[in-house]
Each structure stands twice: as structure tokens, then as C-alpha cells.
Amino acid sequence: MEKIKILEKVLVYDRILRFNIDLLTGIKSELKADIEETKILGEALLDKREQKLLSEFLLKVEEEFLLRLEEALDSIYDEYEVFNFDITFLSGIPDEVEREMERLELINTLNTKLRLLKELLNGACCLIEPNKKLEVILTPFKVYCELINHAIEFNIKFENI
């Protein structure tokens, strides 16, 4: 592969890794506030049965989704450090840089983590039976699902650059 193509791929992967780190960090920072806000809205707007469903949902988000989000974020940080170290170390040998980038499979690794997070959040949302009040209260969590989905699609667009 030409040096310019390798450079382009390195720059794209670097930006994709940083974009995904920023996205997950943003979700993590907002999630805790959204959980508290959702609890308050649930207490104010829902009956006891609906509040119980909402509590189960929030517990699943706090116990599973947040834990997996932190694990994914740590893993992507690690991937970013390895990527930058390997690229720096191998920068004088373009053929090795290309092989290392293929070996790392960054886009596939990122999207696997993002899909897991999306499935966890969608699974938690499926605990809730169809109910307009609950659906409205859970809007922030649906937005997170869509953001993650867009990130996956964005990553795929650049996979074959």
C-alpha cells in the first residue's frame, strides 16, 4: 500500500478511536443524571405498577449497562494506546504499519463493543411493556441507543478507507 494511503488510514483510525471515546464518555457522564431525572419523573407521573417497571429498568441500566459501558471505555482507551504505540514504533516501516492495522481490526473491535452496549440498553428497554408515559420518560435512553447505532454506522463507513 502506498505511504499516503497508510497515513490516511492511520489518521482515520485515530479520529474514529477518539470519536468513540468521546461518545462513550459523554454518555457515561450524562447517564447518571438521566437516571436520577427518570426516577423523579417516574415518581411524579407513574402509578405503583409502572414505577416498579421503571425501577427494574433503571436497576438493569445501572447494574449492567453502566458496568459494560465503563468496561468498553477502558478497553477502547487501551486499544487507542496500543494503536498509537504500535504506529509510532513501526512508523519507519510502512509495510509493518499496514499489517499491524489489519491485525488490530479496530473498527470491528469498536463496533462489537458498541453493539453489545446497544443490545444491553435495548434489552433493558424491552422490560417495559408498551405504555406511552413510560416510553416518554425513557426517551433519553432511546436517544443513547440511536447515538450508538449512528456511531456503528459511522465507523463502518470508514472501515474500508
At 132, which CATH number?
Answer: 1.20.140
Core vs surface per residue 19-38: b (16+ CB within 10 A) or e: ebbebbeebeeebeebbeeb
Residue 122's pLDDT is: 84
Residue 136's pLDDT is: 86
Residue 69's pLDDT is: 96
Q: Kindly tell me if the per-residue pLDDT of 114 is higher than 70.
A: yes
pLDDT digit string (tens) for 42-79?
999 999 999 998 999 999 999 999 999 999 999 998 88
Residue 102's pLDDT is: 72
In which band, very low, low, confident or very high, does the pLDDT at 135 lie, cut at 50, 70 and 90? Answer: confident
Find out whether 6 and 94 touch, Cβ atoms under 8 Å.
yes
Residue 65 CB coordination number (10 Å): 23
DSSP one-letter string for 73-86: HHHHHHHHHHHHHH
Task: Please give the residue range of the domain that contains residue 38.
Answer: 1-157
- Count up the domains in the chain and report the number: 1
Q: Kindly tell me if the per-residue pLDDT of 93 is higher than 70.
A: no
The more confidently predicted of residues 52 and 12 is: 52
The set of cell numbers assigned to 120 is 444491553
Which CA distances in Å does 109 have to 23, 59, 62, 128?
A: 16, 27, 24, 30
Which CA distances in Å does 63 have to 19, 33, 58, 66, 73?
A: 25, 15, 8, 6, 16
Residue 12's pLDDT is: 84
Mean pLDDT of the chain: 85
| Strands (DSSP E) found in the chain | none
Which CA distances in Å does 67 have to 5, 93, 141, 143?
A: 37, 39, 16, 19
pLDDT, mean of residues 135-142? 88
Q: What percent of the chain has pLDDT over 90?
A: 50
* C-alpha to C-alpha distance for 125 and 96, rounded to whole angstroms: 44
Residue 96's pLDDT is: 64
- Residues sharing a CB contact under 8 Å with residue 76, sequence separation 6 or more, in sequence order: 17, 20, 21, 24, 110, 113
